[in-house]
């Protein structure tokens, strides 16, 4: 960028030129470090947002910790793949309040879970219990994985070349014909005859 005497360069252009000259002098390693520092700063500034509202929090920190732990184990019936601790749905809020109400009443963690399962069914649990009626749910993934592995193994065995146990021998007529064919190929002047 050339500047004539007496002419002023606009501020944004000067700033851009200054930044480019500074970055132009820096090594690639320094650029990578600056990008890394910027990325870490942005990621550390963002924290996970929980849906628990300040008016839901219990006064006793021990009971609040129990309520949060239980809320992480319960499924939001609206969102279905989020815990009620993470969901902002009105039903999730009602369930969080219900959990805190049961804890305040003196229920144990198991009693709170049993109450919610009796009221909403097993689906309210993010991690279902291992019981006879959920056995298929627990065993289906390992069975499918094992079946897929077995199918791949059988397929790979089928693709392997079959090794002959005894070498193939030619009859004397076949050997004579093969010798004649090879001799014919060696002399290109002779036309091929039909058998």
Instruction: Read off the tokens for 15.
Output: 């700033």
Assigned domain for 38 exists: no
Q: Residue 6: pLDDT above 70?
A: no
Assigned domain for 192 exists: no
pTM for the complete prediction? 0.48
Could you give the CA distance from residue 164 to residue 159 in angstroms, rounded to a whole number? 15
**Of 67, 77, 68, the residue nearest 121 (C-alpha):** 77
Mean pLDDT of 49-72: 79
The predicted pLDDT at position 145 comes to 93
Could you give the CA distance from residue 80 to residue 86 in angstroms, rounded to a whole number? 11
The predicted pLDDT at position 170 comes to 85
User: Can you give the residue range of the structural domain that contains 82?
Assistant: 54-124
Share of the chain above pLDDT 90, in %: 15
Could you give the CA distance from residue 81 to residue 57 in angstroms, rounded to a whole number? 23
Could you give the CA distance from residue 57 to residue 66 in angstroms, rounded to a whole number? 11
Average pLDDT along the chain: 78
Assigned domain for 13 exists: no
For residues 83, 85, 87, 93, the Cα torsion angle rounded to the nearest 10 degrees is: 120
Task: Give the model confidence (pLDDT) of 91-126 as tens digits.
Answer: 888 898 999 999 999 889 999 999 999 998 888 888
Could you give the CA distance from residue 25 to residue 90 in angstroms, rounded to a whole number? 56
Cβ atoms of 85 and 71 within 8 Å: the answer is yes
Assigned domain for 86 exists: yes
Q: Residue 3: pLDDT above 60?
A: no
Assigned domain for 90 exists: yes
> What total number of domains does the chain contain?
1
The predicted pLDDT at position 78 comes to 86
Q: Residue 154: pLDDT above 80?
A: yes
Helices H / strands E in the chain, number of each: 7, 0
Assigned domain for 19 exists: no
Mean pLDDT of 75-83: 84
Cβ atoms of 75 and 125 within 8 Å: the answer is yes
Assigned domain for 111 exists: yes
Of 9-18, 166-175, 183-192, the one with minimum mean pLDDT is 9-18
Classify 49 in phi/psi space as left (phi over 0), alpha (psi -120 to 50) or beta: beta
Cβ atoms of 3 and 9 within 8 Å: the answer is yes
Assigned domain for 141 exists: no
Could you give the CA distance from residue 61 to residue 59 in angstroms, rounded to a whole number? 6
Tell me the CATH number at 69: 1.10.8.640
Mean pLDDT of 143-167: 82
């Amino acid at each position: 960028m050339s500047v004539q005497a007496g002419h002023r360069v606009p501020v944004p252009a000067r700033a851009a030129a200054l930044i480019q000259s500074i970055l132009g002098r820096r090594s690639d390693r320094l650029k990578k470090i600056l990008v890394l520092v910027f990325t870490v700063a942005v990621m550390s500034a963002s924290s996970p947002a929980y849906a628990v509202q300040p008016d839901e929090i219990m006064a006793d920190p021990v009971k609040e910790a129990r309520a949060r732990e239980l809320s992480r184990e319960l499924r939001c019936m609206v969102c279905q793949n989020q815990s009620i601790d993470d969901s902002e749905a009105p039903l999730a809020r009602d369930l969080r309040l219900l959990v805190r109400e049961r804890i305040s009443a003196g229920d144990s963690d198991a009693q709170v879970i049993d109450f919610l399962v009796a009221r909403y069914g097993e689906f309210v649990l993010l991690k279902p219990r291992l019981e006879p009626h959920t056995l298929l749910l627990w065993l289906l993934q390992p069975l499918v994985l094992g079946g897929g592995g077995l199918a791949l193994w059988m397929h790979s065995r089928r693709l392997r070349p079959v090794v002959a146990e005894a070498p193939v021998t030619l009859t004397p007529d076949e050997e004579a014909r093969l010798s004649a064919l090879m001799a014919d190929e060696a002399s290109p002047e002779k036309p091929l005859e039909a058998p």
